[in-house]
Structure 1
């Protein structure tokens, strides 16, 4: 045997993480030279297989490994069999992989242990036997350290760190992965360094350190790019980024990422990772509320894992499938015994595989199912196990522990103890949320609190105490908006990406480039953000009631029924408004009809508005007049409240939460400084700003080329009242990309976070600007809520597209009232009353809402005259005053 050449080839194998293409070429040259020494040729075949596997060609690597096994010496044969097992796993041949790794471990020479044992551990890990794998890893790491095998040590620390992350041992995992990344960098092994950063991002995501996870993914992405973007690793990075988004509560983004990874023509991914992405897609569907889609994808994933022999992964897919089935059927029937048995089998399999985090979640589900099925003894056993985890692990495991503790207290008849446990779990989520530094992360954190708040609300409704229902409804609502504003971030690269995005859209660039820029902007915002604030305390019910000058109505939706708490200074009532289905139906009719009417096609929506008034308002027994604060829930966030006959022309504030309404309240004062902005593409916008400036002497105006993003942001916080006449773009798929068109580019809600300070009042008559996207836990994202998150107290905006000329006419009258000292809600109500008999203007006024906080001790607004024919004629003769309408807004 030519030992020097074989040794040189084994040394070459260690370079595959630095330059896999070079290793492939050099080993191919040896094979093509057909050396007479079969052991040399076999070693070259093994090295060639390693390089191919690294480059993402696991199937092609198999034949080379088999040639190495056939002709190699004992060390090469054992190493090649172990490597063959990894490639067979990647192509889905689990039985073959098990056979080859078994043969590799049958009396290998001592010199082969450094190759075989780490891969044996990886095999155990990839097939779900995590506890067994950790035992082997813990034996291998000291061995490699003693032998000075730094490349092997870096690889093994990489794999052990990933395993520890799955087991929830995050501190050890981070230590291993950080050391692996450092070693790989010192060795110049770019690919290995990229993989270590990649898995570090995965680990940080699992412990809900989302910004740190994204930063690690950024390092991994750059490192992969430096070595030519190997398809397999890049595809896995996409999948792990999808999982991190799920941990962050960004289910829509996670679903989009998973679907993109699975589309034909996407980056190459081996079959085992494709199945993992399908499981992530099932989880994303589940978090988005699409139970049927989640069930279908989870079943596909389970079939794939079973085919590949990955039994604990099968159990994990079955757990997701059961969760989806419960979501799809919980309102129709109690869980049957077969479902409970399936959940019990899932728990057992996850326990056997050494997956404690996943087993804890499955055990919590089993406890709830057993309780519903009447199997109290089994339920207690499962819940007690989960409750013991409430002091350790990630925030998801700890909240599951407090949820289980609450259910145990309920089983003991201790309702007060159950509520205390729920409050402890919710406080944990609030502490976690307060440390986050991006609006989307704050909103996404509600995923961890949702079930706790739902159970608390269910208990409060059963007790029938209105103020208790109010407190629990508030705990599951708009928690992100109650936190102090995020300190403005400083990120020149973020600004550059926003400018590039605007330029790409202006040039009608391709969707791929736009999508890439949007992904970069979102990642930068999630990763960096600004400084977070402390957690906000809960609603002070007594203080909020004392601040009322009328009535507060807070809606809650639970198990497809709508409830309302009606609160005044002296009374509180709880009203069951019935099933949500008729309200959903009438709301769809109302919105469709009003959109047709506002687009100038034909009248519509009045009958549905009347029926919704009968369903939602009439049963509340409200006084005929007086101030009203409405806190919507679920689908009711889309409702143009003034369109309901009982509420039209009434002074009304729509608040994301009663706590926000109360916490932001201030004595109202007439605006001292006013900022008026006219965006491009609206022929009458400058004329409108000129007209409004006549009502506000000394107002600062930004029109034409002066109305830039930077100018608006710089002036935003110095004004008491801001009015922006600009085209608006609402993005339901990604609400913080909702934008206002200014002179140089779009002002997205991402960039609004860079504004310093906030005006008390913003008037924003852009199409759909008042419409939020509703996330889990009644968390809200959108144009109006981005304003509130910055500290704005009141925003006047439409929840529908509105026509240009009529809107401009109403805005002049609104500002006439504001200039006279009226609070925003009072000014909007006065305008609505003034145009009540005008069939062209009434639906426009009804499309507007005043969203935000209490404004106390305001002056009584003057009467606003109805628009007269002569004033309309004068307006028709003047240059058009235009705001975004149905066509362009």
Structure 2
């Protein structure tokens, strides 16, 4: 939002002696310096005001100097976001000018006061102040001052959401400033006019005006105007669904405001970047920015912006599954909007309440898989869905009253969602179609995707498969272009998780076609649809290769993190770790991720080539006759499996109940965890514990593997893509009562079929150069293990003790065919990017491991729980395995649970001797499992290591 605090021309000082004349001349010169710099160089403006205050202190008898000092002090306070202080200083200046019989200068001080009152939410007072000042300007013939006041009144009307009146004031101001050749204020008026047009959904004209304003600001060296134009254009891009351009523009504006030391603008920029995160479903990060912005706005007296920020914070809390806190935030926003009589604000609250009610409906009665009928009349979520419909309808009416068609379309889409949730697919389809037409007229890409997907889902619920397929495919194609343009895996993963519905609808259609006419063609289509939502961000990252490095600020944050880790470790070693230091460290981690994210936002995004569908022929060609790819998927409570062989694709429906599988896995995991802290105290009970765990694993085998047995009879190598929530199962230990899977198949895992194909086409290089690090200061056996591994290879290098460091790893890792890391590890469920391997001089986090440049070799993580992963979105797994795959490794061997030190040393000896003999990683893993199994049959000892990426 644009603002001005310009003043009229100075007057010649009265002759009061040479000293007084010099002081007055100096005072007016400083005042002009302050005004000249207040938008382009706020620090220089503040310095000029400070010098003027010193002059006033030295000239207590010169009221004119005192008035000028108060005037500039008010402008600087306004610049600093200290609005109440600004009003007080400007009123004091006006009173002095009135006492001096100078009504023009007194009126000029009220121009910035209009701005300050508006920012304080005192709109009626601002309107009255502006009208009185304008009357003075007109009566005295100062039309330039009147035009500046029109500019500020336009900004005030924008803050009140009176967009038509705001546009009128801005147009008037723009014409007058252009005639007066006042470029700076003319650019301000253009930006304000663009804002008003954008709010009225005249997007094309707004975009044209923003582009012109930014070009003129650049030509005339007006950095603040450039930042304002960037910010406004970014908000327009956000409304239209151009997320890549929106993120880049918001980050450019935020950096400019920070450099110009404008806290008020910076607080608003933080809120707007949070809005972009919210739109992309990056919810924890959005919430953190809203909290930061609210704190700044509270200190800067910004009640209007606080209301909007509280509203958006409530929406983020709702998305994070915290309805009580969300309702509280929405209630706070509603109270503030009611006090301001803001119709758009009240509309936005009603829409947020509709979204919250719809979330509650889904929680009470989770939606059925797409295409499996409408919602039953007795659905527990029917009542909140009806409430959502009512709130959304109210919001649509209010947005229409406020002249905000984009908001009205958004509300109509939520109303349609509620209708579909209640089973009224016909009414929902009509409303989706109408909203889609309106979104197309507005050129709002994000709303077009939602409308197109809604039409498809409603048509699917009605059994109109042809129309459903066309609409859903159109929604997917529109979404893909948005998704691919986003910078970074994190944004892509979060955004994808919020747009699964059209993909799920197309999967439902593919399954219907296969059920009606089973065959290789329909089964291949099911496989393509299944994989279209699996680890998409990782697949694209592997295809794209190494990402650019980060900036100095990110590296400085990493250095600080290393220092905090070392300090926390020292406290732990001394037995006195503090919660405050741990929280400081976690806060530094969040700051680092945000800094890296913002740096990526500031880079231009070059979208890659279209990914297209999974090539099933290429996948089948990559498999040998004795190979099989087993792809699990979860559809509601159904476990679905696709089996890919060189000879074709097979789909197995209703293999098991997912709920039953998860219950069986919990029981098996309980038995495995009995040895979590070592077997020594339980030696006498090991036979009993082994029988119990075998019973549980046999039950799991009956559920997830026995139904596949006929299709896998001749499969020697099996590559698994586990279903959501089942990646941690020890598939190697599942057995039928006679043999376990490790005795029948060579097993490996991948998070998606695309990643599996990437691994099949990229076998690991032969193990010649081996780099082994063993952090033995805290893990005594690790040094001996690393030395033992390195000794097996002619070009093996072992670094132990103090040499097992990050510096050594970064120096030698790029040359290694095999990288062996024996050390303590920590899985961070709260922030998987900071899961870490603890080397001598600090942790190698997943965030840092991604930046390693590795050969297409094998990485062995000989530590506890290195194979665990958190979830970014539904099917994006984040952890150490992913990090090393991103870094370039072809295969990663990692553990699912804490491993016994002595037995692991034996296991690794067998594994590496297998590699030394020329076995593949999967063959070497099978040999090691068999060897350990013979002496230590309990699965906790031998089945915890899993090979990721391929065989």
TM-score bucket of the superposed structures, by smaller chain: 0.7 to 0.9
Does residue 453 of the first structure (1) align with residue 531 of the second (2)? no
Residue range with higher mean Cα deviation, 190-199 or 345-354: 190-199
1:813 pairs with one of 910, 913, 928:
910
Q: Is the aligned partner of 1:120 residue 2:142?
A: no
Report which stretch shifted further, 611-620 or 341-350: 611-620
> Which moved further from structure 2: 482-491 or 525-534?
525-534
Give per-residue Cα distances to partners, 1:439-468, cap 9 Å, x unaligned.
323433414632322333344456664654
- Between the aligned partners of 2:761 and 2:234, the Cα distance in structure 1 is 43
Partner of 2:534: 477
Q: CA RMSD in A?
A: 4.4
Structure-1 residue corresponding to 2:610:
535
Contact 1:49 1:64 in 2 (8 A): yes
Equivalent residues of 1:489, 1:530 under 8 A apart: no
Aligned residues of 2:862 and 2:895 also touching (Cα < 8 A)? yes
SS at match of 1:634: coil
What's the CA shift for 1:119? 2.2
Offset, 1:376: 3.1
Question: How far 1:325 sits from its partner (Å)?
Answer: 2.0
Residue pair 2:425, 2:458 contacting (<8 A) in 1 also = no
Q: How many residues align?
A: 848
Residues 1:175 and 2:204 are matched in the alignment: no
Shift of 1:797: 0.9
Query: Of residues 866, 872, 876 in structure 2, which corresponds to 1:779?
Result: 876
> Per the alignment, in what secondary structure is the counterpart of residue 922 of structure 2?
helix
- Quote the offset at 1:678 in angstroms: 0.3
Q: In the alignment, what sits opposite 1:418? A: 468
Larger Rg computed on CA atoms: 2
Cα contact 1:91–1:272 (8 A) shared by 2 = yes
Distance in 1 of aligned mates of 2:699 and 2:446:
42
Structure 1 stretch displaced more, 744-753 or 525-534: 525-534
Aligned equivalent of 1:403: 453
Residues 582/343 of structure 1: CA separation in 2 closer, same or farther (3 Å cut): farther
TM-fit CA distance, 1:269: 6.2
What CA distance in whole angstroms lies between the structure 2 residues aligned with 1:214 and 1:341?
A: 33
Aligned residue for 1:489? 548
CA drift of 1:697 comes to 3.8
SS in 2 for 1:664: helix
Asked if the contact 1:366–1:379 (Cα under 8 Å) also holds between the matched residues in 2, the reply is: no
Matched, 1:666 2:761: yes
Q: Distance in 2 between matches of 1:265 and 1:640?
A: 51
Aligned residues of 2:457 and 2:472 also touching (Cα < 8 A):
no
Give the aligned partner of residue 823 of structure 1. Answer: 920
Tell me, in whole angstroms, the C-alpha distance in 1 between the residues paired with 2:197 and 2:705.
Answer: 55
SS in 1 for 2:614: coil
Distance in 1 (CA, whole Å) between partners of 2:297 and 2:454 is: 44
Give 1:333's match in structure 2, choosing from 347, 367, 381.
Answer: 381
Structure-1 residue corresponding to 2:724 = 634
The alpha-carbon distance between structure 1 residues 776 and 286, as it changes in their structure 2 partners (threshold 3 A), is farther
CA shift, 1:99, in A, is 5.8
1:652 aligns to 2:747 (yes or no) = yes
Counterparts of residues 19-168 of structure 1 (less than 5 Å): 19=43, 21-22=46-47, 25=50, 47-64=72-89, 83-93=112-122, 96-97=125-126, 109=138, 110-130=143-163, 132-160=165-193, 167=201
**Residue aligning to 1:380:** 430
Match of 2:398 in 1: 349
Native 8 Å contact 1:551 1:567 kept in 2: yes
Distance 2:673 2:310 in 1: 38
- Cα offsets for 1:107-148 (capped at 9, x unmatched): 962344323222222223223344553454344323322222
| d(CA) in 1 for partners of 2:536, 2:146 | 54
Q: Which runs of 5+ in 2 are unaligned?
A: 1-8, 14-26, 366-379, 516-522, 569-580, 683-688
Per-residue deviation, 1:23: 6.1
Of 390-399 and 447-456, more deviation after overlay is shown by 390-399
Tell me if the contact between 2:267 and 2:297 (Cα under 8 Å) persists in the aligned partners.
Answer: no
Structure 1 range deviating more: 301-310 or 154-163: 154-163
Indicate conservation of the 8 Å contact 1:444/1:776, yes or no. Answer: yes
Alignment of 1:456-855 (within 5 A): 456-460=506-510, 465=515, 467-483=524-540, 484-491=543-550, 493=552, 494-495=554-555, 497-508=557-568, 510-511=584-585, 516-525=591-600, 527-528=602-603, 533-545=608-620, 547=623, 549=626, 551-558=628-635, 560-569=636-645, 572-576=650-654, 594-595=672-673, 597-600=675-678, 606=693, 616-617=704-705, 626=715, 627-642=717-732, 644=734, 649=742, 650-666=745-761, 671-680=766-775, 681=777, 682-703=779-800, 709=806, 712-713=809-810, 715-716=812-813, 718-742=815-839, 746-756=843-853, 758-836=855-933, 842-853=939-950, 855=951
What is the alpha-carbon distance in structure 2 between the residues aligned to residue 527 and residue 414 of structure 1?
A: 44
Helix, strand or coil at the partner of 1:599: coil
Match of 1:878 in 2: none
Q: Match of 1:252?
A: 284
Residues 550 and 596, structure 2, Cα contact 8 Å, conserved in 1? no
C-alpha distance in structure 2 between counterparts of 1:301 and 1:582, whole Å: 44
Cα offset, 1:589, TM superposition: 6.2
Q: Within 5 A, what are the aligned runs for 1:251-400? A: 251-262=283-294, 268=300, 270-290=302-322, 293-330=325-362, 331=365, 332-334=380-382, 336-373=385-422, 374=424, 376-377=426-427, 379-387=429-437, 389=439, 393=443, 396-400=446-450
SS in 2 for 1:572: strand
CA deviation after TM superposition for structure 1 residue 343, in Å: 0.9
Instruction: Give the match's secondary structure for 1:399.
Output: helix
User: For residues 594 and 262 of structure 1, what CA distance do their matches in structure 2 show?
Assistant: 47
Give, in whole Å, the separation in 1 of the partners of 2:86 and 2:405. Answer: 34
> Scaled by the length of structure 2, what TM-score is found?
0.77
Cα distance in 2 between the residues matched to 1:108 and 1:459 = 70
Bigger mean CA offset, 795-804 vs 67-76? 67-76
> Offset at 1:480?
1.4
Per the alignment, in what secondary structure is the counterpart of residue 640 of structure 2? strand
Quote how far apart the aligned CAs of 1:500 are. 4.4
Distance 1:658 1:676 in 2: 30
Query: Is the contact made by 1:832 and 1:845 (CA closer than 8 Å) also made in structure 2?
Result: yes
* CA deviation profile, 1:69-118 (whole Å, cap 9, x unmatched): 77767766766666445434433445555665676677962344323222
More moved, 459-468 vs 58-67: 459-468
Structure 2 residue matching 1:802: 3-state secondary structure: coil
Structure 1 residue 311, shift from structure 2 partner: 2.2
Contact kept in structure 2, 1:668 and 1:823, CA below 8 Å: no
1:588 offset after TM fit, Å?
5.8
For 1:123 and 1:589, the matched residues in 2 are separated by 64
363-372 or 639-648, larger mean C-alpha shift:
639-648
The 10-residue stretch of structure 1 (289-298 or 812-821) with the greater mean CA deviation from structure 2: 289-298
Structure with the greater relative contact order (CA < 8 A, sep ≥ 6): 1 or 2? Answer: 1
Q: 1:592 to 1:183 in 2, by over 3 A?
A: farther
- Whether the 8 Å CA contact 1:399–1:449 is kept in 2: the answer is no
Distance 1:42 1:279, change over 3 A: same
Structure 1 residue 194: Cα displacement = 5.9
SS of the residue aligned with 1:635?
coil
User: Is the deviation greater in 355-364 or in 684-693?
Assistant: 355-364
Contact 1:482 1:660 in 2 (8 A): yes
